[in-house]
Structure 1
Amino acid sequence: MATAFEVVGGGGGAGGGTTLSDLYQNSKRLLLKSRDGLERLERLGYASSSLPSSSLDSSPELFDSVKRDIAQILSLCTDMDHLWRSIPAKSQRDLWKRKVEQVAEEAISLKDSLEKYSQRIQRRTQEAQERAELLGRVNGESSHVLRIFDDEAQAMQSVQTSSRMLEDAYATGVAILSKYSEQRDHLKRAQRKALDVLNRLGLSNSVLRLIERRNRVDRWIKYAGMIITIIIVIMVWRWTS
């Protein structure tokens, strides 16, 4: 008697003599491929979100490939659904039923995501065309419309870059100030310990005054560092804006 992994199918998209295990492995491979393709489409769609053309127009081969892979997965699920029902052992039959249902659910989820992606791209393309037509009627020049879109995209990218640089500079300043604060606390504790030791040793007041002057110098150095950090942050912000 054939085991659950040796049940043989003869139709569908798998071809004759293909086992249930082979169909399942093929479906899992296609799921990974489809998921990767959909993620690439989403990245292309995000990159072209501010341009008048859509990623669906610029990568039709990838879109069609993902669509074909999902259709093939669903076809394999149909074949596997017929095969697992012929497994004699109930435990193995229930196991394969869950596996096939899981693959089918993932394939349907990918199909829904692909359809939503397609609708989103089509809607974005239509909106871009409507804006182009509106501006074209006002200005009478389609090249001017395209130049406006390019300027907007470059401006948005520049703003995002400037914002990231300002955030990095701010984070650096905060880290430096925090470090100064930690060093100040360490110095205070060290000075208190040193003063206690010096008092116990009976050192002269001149030595204590020298230590106090050094403390004031360190404090001015700390303030100067904070001011320099703030100036650097302001200069970076003005340079990027």
Structure 2
Amino acid sequence: MEALYHQTNRMVLETQEYFHNLDRIVGDDSEQINKEIQDRLNSISKNCEKLSIMLFKEPLAKRHNTKLKLDQLKYDLQHLQAGFRSYQFAKQRKKQDELEREQLLSRRFTATDSDNTTILIDHNLQHQQSLINVNNRTDELLNAGMSMLNNIREQGMSMKSTQMRIRNIANTLGLSNTTMRLIEKRVQQDKYILLGGMAVTMVIIVVVIVYF
């Protein structure tokens, strides 16, 4: 189980590095990286399922610490999946906006009189400006998604470090299992609060892009 855990944790770190290359690579290479990220997320998810089963075969003395490490892996996976979905949505929306803008610019105007021509041009100029605004908002969403992923990585590393310090302090002070469970419960609550805040933020951004 220890070997599978380290393998999965290494995959999480490598996947986080792949996210940093998404904005710098275009064309076929970009599609390849997207596929690689999706494959890695699927593999990490399967490994977490295997680890969950193997956890109950661990000795009772090791099971507590092993469960903490497994919970952290699942937490990292959830954040990576959420960030990747956000990135894909923003990328698809940007591609659609660019396609609509190209179609608009390539459209030929046929007017019966100068007044109709002016009205048609004004309407299409407004439409074009609207598309530009949407495109700008999509870029902001992409940047927000990448920033969120960076924060996820930093928070994950911070939480791992904090958990290690808590365990070391607990061993030094001889804290009871009940006290440790209370600490773990508070950590889990903090995770849910963070996830909820991120979800609300993403919903607000998507609503602004779609309806405004």
TM-score (norm 1): 0.43
Of the two, which has the highest radius of gyration? Answer: 1
